[in-house]
Amino acid sequence: MRKLKVAVIGLGVMGQQHTRIYAEMPNVELTAVCDINRELSERIASQYGVAACDRLEAVFQIPDLDAVSICTADDQHYELAVLACKYGKHVLMEKPLAANIEEAKEIVEHVRQSGIQMMVGHTLRWDPRYYQAYQAVQQGKIGKPLHLYARRNNSFLNGQRLKGRTSVLMFLGVHDIDAIEWITGDRIVEVYAVGVSERLSSFGVMDATLTTLRFASGMIGNYETSWVLPEQHLELDAKLDITGTEGAVNIDIIHQNISVHTGTRFTFPDTAYGVEMYGRMTGIMKEELTSFVRGVLEGDPLPITVEEACRAVYIAHSMEEALRTGRPVAVQP
């Protein structure tokens, strides 16, 4: 069985998850890791028995390397995507595709010209709850969608951790932007957004935004996102409600049929995203990486195209334009 030779660039939370999952996959050979923190890179490399690269270009020059996972900060995505295209290496990119729409568009062109495969990790495409919603809507079970409400609210610790390097719409919003268009099969044609900046104002970013959405079909929607949930509250609060002419679909990720009381608060353990069972990783992240590996090795269609990932960046950019101007912004096809 041919194995996919993969390297991981960026060893934060996401990069370390990619590294472990690849190491546990029988059809993957984890070859190297790379991080700006040399000590961390060497420690992770030693843990998995792989090479530690101290230069980005050195990763792409590894003999017979097939693919890379890019798990760095958003502002490094463009440089690394261009290098991958230059060296002909397939890419699994953590979302968003790029830090801004200009770089996102250029990445799409580089990918098209190079012929590599690139998949962006919009994890909701592999979340069984969102996939079930996609099937219900696409199979006509709720009739014609009329209106929707979505939210993705994150903890203040995440807002602080990122220190203004990205916006709440780019960090969180792209998830639901992509999921909404994918699930409904509809296209957002206009956005109008308002926001508030208080707890994170020193970083020059919004605490929270509310966006009104208009769709090509006439459907309307409202999207809420925030990264200032109070400490000791929730790490993530996400929801999606779609009402149609003949039914409705409702997702609420907080209540996962298990809660744990730690003496000071209730917590809701992750039962879907990155779950360890019997010493191995399973869940949404494993399914995402499996889709990428099978796409490269076996030619399976990737569940999300690079153009769709670019569109999510474009719509988030349009929402940010609406925030700046105070006016509705048209979203082009």
Rounded percentage of the chain residues whose pLDDT exceeds 90 = 85
Per-residue pLDDT of 251-305, as tens digits, reads 999 877 788 888 788 888 888 888 888 999 889 999 999 999 999 999 999 999 9
Per-residue pLDDT of 53-98, as tens digits, reads 989 999 999 999 999 999 999 999 999 999 999 999 999 999 999 9
DSSP 19-80: HHHHHH-TTEEEEEEE-SSHHHHHHHHHHHT-EEESSHHHHHTSTT--EEEE-S-GGGHHHH
Quote the longest CA-to-CA distance of the chain: 57
* Confidence band, pLDDT 50/70/90 cuts, at residue 129: very high
Rounded percentage of the chain residues whose pLDDT exceeds 70 = 100
The pTM is what? 0.94
SS in 3 state form for 71-130? CCCHHHHHHHHHHHHHHCCEEEEECCCCCCHHHHHHHHHHHHHHCCCEEEECHHHHCHHH
